[in-house]
Chains A and B, each alone.
Chain A
Amino acid sequence: MPWFILTSKSDRFSEELLIKPLYSDHLYVHFQFATKWDTNPDQESFRHTHIFPRALGEIIERYNVQELHVSLAGGLWRYETWGYPILDAAPGAEVWAWFKADTEDVDKNWKELASSLSGLLCASLNFINVDNSVNPEYTFKPRGVVSDQKINSTYVRYASLPREIVCTENLTPWKKLLPCESKSGLASLLNSGYIHNVRYHSIAIHMRPVCRDDACEFTSLELQQSVSLVYDYLIMGTKNWSFRKLFGQGLMGPCPLSENSVIFVDTTSNVSVPFQLIPSPDDYITSVRGGHVSTFAKYNVKPYAMSINANYLGKESVLLNSPPSLHANQYITGYGQERGGIVTKIYNNHWGALEVVVLQNIPWYVPIYLHTLKIDVNGVRVEPVGIHYIPGRQRQRPYHLEILLKLPPRSVASVSIDFDYVFLKWQEYPPDANHGFYIGSAVISANLPLARNFTGLPQDGATIADSFNASRRGYLVQVRTENMVITLPTPDFSMPYNVICLACTVVALAFGPLHNITTKRLVLTVKDNEKLIVKIKNRIVKAWTERNSGSDVNQSVQ
């Protein structure tokens, strides 16, 4: 319907690609697709959409969703060496959503939202339930605009599925949400055979209401779709990258529905590790953000075949990678299958104090004890600024722990808490129970004062171009730590079978002798039917002994 396309200018779509060489012999590739639709999210029925995906629109309308954030990631983002990503994602699946204030039953909507999303993205998000979701008090504030004065955190839900495997079947439906799908534009570069052969890959959907204009009296609906990939030069075999090496093909022009289609290459590291871009870029952009200067080469995607190659010039200077201001680890302590502990280590490399919020969503089968919570900063025990703790309940809700911490300059804080290993019911063990049970990653949030190693988008922006020169008061990072696997005491599921086998064997072995003993009598009998040769032998022996000893005692040998 061309007339519609002509008349409707209420929605805009932009596609961007950022390629950034990381310090650690890795290449970060980020696709950012942003749709902004000037419609009132509270009144929109999603009966007809133009660029905005209707399948997603129907879901958010049905479940009264105000904001939706979904990410599916394979691998772990290495903050310490890679810096900060544009959008954080926990390993596995992660969903958080804000519901509108007139939602009657948030838990029910949340459950059904997750199961609808599982159909939309072919992921097992339907395992999200009340018993593994929390409503974070401090960590997940609305990213979009709100009109209410007070933010009521009973309308937010957060859950993660650390076990989730991300594969091509997730990418396929994700691409179908894009206006050009993967037919043309930057999304045509996303070939599953190439993009899953990387160190880290994540796909994400972020939907939120935003300001329509500067006055911010009306709202628009914004949808960000992103793919993040981290290529390893070792897997690629060379440091020189090209579209063919990264994606298996070149680019055949922009998505015709997009307003702008651009490619940025971060050339900040060109000073120390020089590389040459072929063809030469259309433009260079210098971005000064939070005291950190970075340069980007900009390419506009033109309606003909194009490819970008980077050739390293070979004269490398020694590179000192300064770790980012804040990063974190998480691990399990203890041994045996009785008691254990979870330790979260938070590193503040900044010269100033940092305020951080640690969110932990611990499954109900890992009962933690709040009195064992211990926070050490550089080995000295400290008290947290605040704690928000909702104890879990078996099979009903997880343990929700949020800790507000003030980290002194250049310090390492370790937050440790003890837990018990519990027995589950027989039916609650998964088919591969001996694989272990996952504990999702902790989320450590902070507002960094400096934008060093920071590539995230500002809160009022949706595109990579919005992040240039976007100096703000603080730069939000939400560090995700590693997932953990624990082995709960797992019964031997073949035990009944073994017991039956063993019991039957024992019975069979015992029955024969017992039957013999109880039914048969042992009687001593004298055997007469001796063989001829034995008789002859006995005679000889008898005769011989009689002659030698002259004894008259009768002997019989039997």
Chain B
Amino acid sequence: MVTQIIGPCWSVKRLGIPDSQIILMIADDMACNPRNPRPATVFNNANQHINVYGDDVEVDYRGYEVTVENFVRLLTGRLPPGTPRSKQLLTDEGSNVLIYLTGHGGDGFLKFQDSEEITSQEMADALEQMWQKQRYHEIFFMIDTCQAASMYERFYSPNILAVGSSLVGEDSLSHHVDPAIGVYIIDRYTYYALEFLENVDPHTKKTMGEFLNVCPKRVCISTVGVRTNLFRRNPHQVPITDFFGSVRPVELISNVTVQPLVTNKTQKKAPALPKKYRYVPPLVDFKYLV
């Protein structure tokens, strides 16, 4: 379900969060899989209104890179040397982090690839480590799996607002199938959440409280679980752009003169001495082989 994960990514990008601040992990290669009848495209729904896998998607972790280890390393910042910036979560104590997870889940776990899973305890410990390392200010944790609520039940770190598409013991149901690919492309909860975000613009006055109620039981079929006791603010007073957008009030100041602190001296380099450069024959000549 690539749409599932690309959709929220596409929505937050529309609300002003640059690609450099989005870390996307996709284990599937659905867009360019030879079995996709429309290569390099993934549509947000079966009516194919919007190609969410458009020209500006940047997948940071893909294929075999999507492992529990890499995910926990990414959250906690314990990455090997040489990891590029696009694969790091460069956040600090002032950052609001949105974590969106989807896939196959069960009571207390979420599957990664076909071989491993992250448990709710591991998830909670990773977030606690983030808190202790001052890697976030607030976290909005969104999960769309079966028995999603079980994933956030063990959280014990402050300032986390969590929402899951279904309670423990409930299945999270899909919204519709794309007959051309033959797979269900989006789940109900994500579908209605995206529908809500479609009508959000960067200057919106909508709050997180409204977002938490996007999918009542009659449309979602599963019960959306919410956990607010770790969150210090009232969700109904938190603007939705605190997590889903990048709104920076810009004030233009015109009557300020800036004195350069450092004089712009170009460092004098020793001029390169002329050397004799040459092209090397690209292939060894067998005559000169010893």
- Is the pair A216, B276 in contact by a Cβ cutoff of 8 Å? yes
Q: Which residues of chain A (123-144) have a CB below 8 Å from chain B?
A: 124, 126-127, 138-139, 141-144
The digit string for A409-435, where 1 denotes a CB below 8 A from any CB of B, is 000000000000000000000111000
Contacts of B276 in A (CB 8 A): 147, 216-217
- What is the CA–CA distance of A142 and B281 in the complex, to the nearest angstrom? 9
A445 and B283 within 8 A (CB): yes
The residue on B at minimum CB distance from A175 is B55
Q: A211-231 interface mask toward B, CB cutoff 8 Å, 1 = contact, 0 = none? A: 100001111000000000000
Indicate if the CB atoms of A432 and B55 lie closer than 8 Å: no
Does A476 have its Cβ within 8 Å of any Cβ on chain B?
yes
- The 8 Å CB contact of B277, one of A145, A193, A196, A446, is A145
A141 to B280, CA, bound (A): 7
Contact of A357 among B27, B81, B272, B284 (CB under 8 A): B284
- Binary flags per residue of A152-178, CB closer than 8 Å to B gives 1, else 0: 000000000001011111011100000
> What residues of chain B lie closer than 8 Å to A163, measured between beta carbons?
63
Given A116-B82, A116-B84, A476-B282: A147 touches B55 (CB 8 Å cut-off)? no
Q: Is the CB of A122 within 8 A of B60?
A: yes
Tally A-B pairs: CB < 8 A.
Answer: 153
User: Within the assembled complex, what's the spacing in Å between the Cα atoms of A218 and B282?
Assistant: 21
Q: Which residues of A contact B49 (CB under 8 A)?
A: none
Check A122/B280 contact, CB under 8 A, given A116-B82, A116-B84, A193-B41: no
* B40 x A120 contact (CB < 8 A): no
Q: From A43, A111, A112, A192, give the contact of B54 (CB < 8 A).
A: A192
Q: Kindly state the separation between the CA atoms of A87 and B281 in the bound complex, as whole angstroms.
A: 17
Quick check: which of B31-39, B127-135, B151-159, B201-209 contacts chain A, the rest being far away? B31-39
Q: Is the CB of B60 within 8 A of A168?
A: no
With A and B bound together, what is the CA distance between A172 and B18 in angstroms?
14
For A459, list chain B residues within 8 Å (CB): 279, 282
Q: Are B60 and A119 in contact (CB under 8 A)?
A: yes
Question: How long is the Cα–Cα vector from A169 to B33 in the complex, in angstroms?
Answer: 13
Instruction: Output the least CB separation between B268 and chain A (Å).
Output: 11
What is the minimal beta-carbon distance from B256 to any residue of chain A, in angstroms?
Answer: 20
Interface centre among B38, B59, B282 (most CB of A within 10 A): B282
Minimal beta-carbon separation of A281 from chain B (angstroms):
30
Q: Which B residues are CB-close (under 8 A) to A69?
A: none
The answer to whether A111 and B82 touch (CB under 8 A), given A217-B275, A459-B282, is yes
Contacts A118-B84, A147-B277, A218-B274 given; does A430 touch B64 at CB 8 Å: yes
CA–CA, A383 and B107, complex, Å = 64
Contact A432 B114 (CB under 8 A): yes
By beta carbon, the residue of chain A nearest B24 is A169
B92 interface residue per 8 A CB criterion: no
Contacts of B283 in A (CB 8 A): 138-139, 141, 355, 357, 445-447, 474, 476
User: A493, B115: Cβ atoms under 8 Å?
Assistant: yes
Contact A168 B31 (CB under 8 A): yes
Q: Are A196 and B40 in contact (CB under 8 A)?
A: yes
Smallest Cβ-Cβ distance to A62: which chain B residue: B82
Contact B40 A193 (CB under 8 A): yes
Does B85 contact A119, Cβ atoms closer than 8 Å? Answer: yes
| Contact indicator B279/A460 (Cβ below 8 Å) | yes
Considering only residues 27-55 of chain A, those with a C-beta below 8 Å from chain B are 40, 42-43
A contact residues, total (Cβ < 8 Å): 64
User: Which residue in chain A gives the minimum CB-CB distance to B66?
Assistant: A431
The answer to whether B174 has its CB under 8 Å from any CB of chain A is no
In the assembled complex, the CB of A533 is this many whole angstroms from the nearest CB of chain B, namely 56
Tell me, in angstroms, the Cα distance from A145 to B281 when the chains sit together. 10
Asked if A211 and B277 make an inter-chain contact with CB atoms under 8 angstroms apart, the answer reads yes
In the complex, the answer to whether A119 meets B64 with C-beta atoms within 8 Å is no
Q: Which of A424-474 contact B (CB under 8 A)?
A: 430-432, 445-447, 459-460, 474
A151-B280 contact in complex given A43-B269, A122-B60, A127-B64, C-beta closer than 8 Å: yes
**A386 and B81 contact, CB distance less than 8 A:** no
Q: Which residues of B have CB within 8 Å of A145?
A: 277-279
- With A119-B86, A124-B63, A192-B54 as given contacts, are A386 and B289 in contact (CB-CB < 8 Å)? yes
Rounded to whole Å, the gap between the CB of B83 and the closest CB of chain A is 6
Asked if A300 is at the interface of the complex by the 8 Å CB criterion, the answer is no
Per the bound structure, the CA–CA distance linking A182 and B56 in Å amounts to: 11
Instruction: Verify A355–B286 contact, CB threshold 8 A.
Output: yes
What CA separation (Å) do A12 and B247 show in the bound complex?
38
- Asked if B87 is at the interface (CB within 8 A of a chain A CB), the reply is yes
Say yes or no: A126 contacts B284, CB within 8 Å: no
Taking chain B's interface residues, is the majority helix, strand, or loop, or is none over half, making it mixed? loop
Residues of chain B with a CB closer than 8 A to A218's CB: 272, 274-275, 277
- A211 CA to B280 CA in the complex, in Å? 12
Whether the Cβ atoms of B40 and A112 lie closer than 8 Å is: no
* Interface flag for B95 (CB, 8 Å): no
User: Counting CB contacts under 8 A, is A301 at the interface?
Assistant: no
- Distance of A146 Cα from B278 Cα, bound (Å): 6
A376 to B23, CA, bound (A): 52
State whether the Cβ of A179 lies closer than 8 Å to any Cβ in chain B: no
A141 touches B113 (CB 8 A): no
Say yes or no for A74: interface residue by CB 8 A criterion.
yes
A349 at the B interface (CB under 8 A)? no
Q: Which residues in window 43-102 of B have CB below 8 A to A?
A: 51, 53-60, 62-65, 80-87
The answer to whether A115 and B82 touch across the interface, beta carbons within 8 angstroms, is yes
Give CA–CA (A163, B282) in the complex, Å. 28
Is B29 part of the binding interface, using a Cβ–Cβ cutoff of 8 Å?
yes
- What's the minimum C-beta distance from A481 to chain B, rounded to whole angstroms? 18
B residues within 8 A CB of A142? 280
* A192–B53 alpha-carbon span in the complex (Å): 9
For B82, the chain A residues whose CB sits under 8 A away are: 111-112, 115-116
Q: How many angstroms from the CA of A407 to the CA of B272 in the assembled complex?
A: 45
A124-B62, A147-B276, A193-B40 as given contacts; A168 in contact with B55, CB under 8 Å = yes
Neighbouring B residues of A193 by C-beta, 8 Å? 38-41, 51
Q: How far is the CA of A432 from the CA of B53 in the complex (A)?
A: 24
- Asked whether B114 lies within 8 Å of A169 as measured between CB atoms, the reply is no
Judge whether B279 and A119 touch: CB under 8 Å.
no
A431 in contact with B31 (CB, 8 Å): no
List chain A residues, Cβ under 8 A from B60: 119, 122
Q: What is the bound-complex CA distance between A357 and B282, given in angstroms?
A: 11
**Alpha-carbon distance between A35 and B245 when the two chains are bound, in angstroms:** 37
| A289 interfacial contact with B, CB 8 Å | no
Residues in B with CB closer than 8 Å to A430 are: 64
How far does the Cβ of A518 sit from chain B's closest Cβ, in whole Å?
39
Tell me whether A168 and B53 are in contact (CB under 8 A): yes
A191 to B84, CA, bound (A): 26
In the complex the two chains form, is B282's CB within 8 Å of A143's CB? yes
Q: Is A168 a contact partner of B278 (Cβ separation < 8 A)?
A: no
A126 with B41: in contact, given A146-B278, A216-B278 (CB under 8 Å)? no
- A542 — which chain B residues lie within 8 A by C-beta? none
CB-CB nearest in chain B for A59 = B84
Alpha-carbon gap, A173 to B54, bound state (A): 13
For residue A404, which residues in chain B have a CB less than 8 angstroms away from its CB? 284, 286, 289
Is A406 on the interface with B (CB-CB < 8 A)? yes
What A residues does B277 contact at CB under 8 A?
Answer: 145-147, 209, 211, 216-219
Q: How far is the CB of B228 from the nearest CB of chain A, in Å?
A: 35
Q: What are some 9 contacts across the A-B interface (CB < 8 A)? A: A127-B65, A146-B280, A147-B277, A168-B54, A172-B57, A217-B276, A355-B286, A357-B284, A431-B115
Given contact pairs A122-B58, A171-B55, a sample of 14 additional A-B residue pairs in the complex whose CB atoms are under 8 Å apart: A141-B284, A147-B276, A147-B277, A168-B32, A168-B53, A192-B55, A196-B39, A209-B277, A211-B277, A216-B278, A385-B286, A445-B283, A447-B281, A447-B282
**Nearest 9 A/B pairs, CB to CB:** A119-B84, A112-B82, A217-B274, A167-B32, A196-B40, A431-B113, A145-B277, A196-B39, A431-B115
